[in-house]
Structure 1
Amino acid sequence: MDRVNCYFPISTSEVKELYIAQQFEEQFELLLTIEDQKGRRQCPLERDVYSIGSHRDCDIRLCSQFVSKHHAILVRNPPGDVSYYRISDGDLDGNPSANGLLINGRKRQSYDLQDKDEILFGPQVRLIYYVVKKLAD
């Protein structure tokens, strides 16, 4: 059987965005520091979507009576976007959480995260988003 090569057109700006995203991922890693009733722990961010809440099915599970079962969604932004992750209050169906999100002291429905942003879910429950430069091998 003959091999057929398929080519898909891609714009210069798309190539640039992919290159920037690749360079970023080679040099930096994205982390969440989680603080709740279980203590303090870190979660590296590598996937495209994370569910956050107190339900056992959530990707990032928070332990507190003030955290909704499905409190928030964390979604990776498209390549080339400066933020890389957007957090939104509520679940994938658009239902808001009971207590909402406080990000850097302000109530927000959604927000593009930047290095050292603090997300409060309730008393003594917070996440801190970090962009960390990888150490050279």
Structure 2
Amino acid sequence: MYSLRLVVTPDGASTLPLRETCTIGRHSLCRIKIVEEFISRWHCALIAMPPDIECDRPYFIIKDGELLGKPSANGTWVNSDRIRLIKLKHQDIITFSQFSAYPRLEFLDNYVSLGAEIGTDSHERVS
């Protein structure tokens, strides 16, 4: 339902499925390990949330820093805004420093992508 497009250079990218909470950082236990000097050991976490009143399907929020601890040293940026905790939307761009465009992640909501491909609003049901 969701995926992350990891862009490491202007010409190098890979897509990873996203089904559960995911940690990102330099630490060997992070699900997505990115070894760059400016990335913290536990830089951020994408947290899977269950459906609720506002959203009738699971969704993801992103939290800067350790899951239950301190923030990252250089911050987490979504669409050029420094964040602490926000709900992710289709095609949000996640970066790990104010000064570096790479590596970066693009959050993809495949449900929205599918709706766009078949010409429907992402919130309409297709019969």
TM-score, with length taken from structure 1? 0.69
Which runs of at least 4 in structure 1 moved beyond 4 Å after TM superposition? none
Equivalence for 2:5: 33
Q: Which moved more, 1:112-121 or 1:123-132?
A: 123-132
Helix, strand or coil for the counterpart of 1:93? coil
**Is the contact made by 1:36 and 1:62 (CA closer than 8 Å) also made in structure 2?**
no
Structure (1/2) with the larger helix percentage: 1
Which runs of 5 or more structure 2 residues have no equivalent in the other structure? 118-127
| Number of residue pairs aligned between Structure 1 and Structure 2 | 105
- Selected match of 1:44 from 17, 24, 28: 17
Q: Percent identity?
A: 31
The structure with more radius of gyration = 1
- Selected match of 1:96 from 60, 66, 71: 71
Equivalence for 2:124: none
TM-score, with length taken from structure 2? 0.74
Equivalence for 1:9: none
In structure 1, distance between residues paired with 2:25 and 2:19: 18
The amino acid that maps onto 1:85 is F
Are residue 126 (structure 1) and residue 104 (structure 2) matched? yes
What RMSD in Å do the two structures reach over aligned CA positions?
1.9
Matches within 5 A, 1:1-137: 29-36=1-8, 39-47=12-20, 49-80=21-52, 81-82=54-55, 84-122=59-97, 123=100, 124-133=102-111
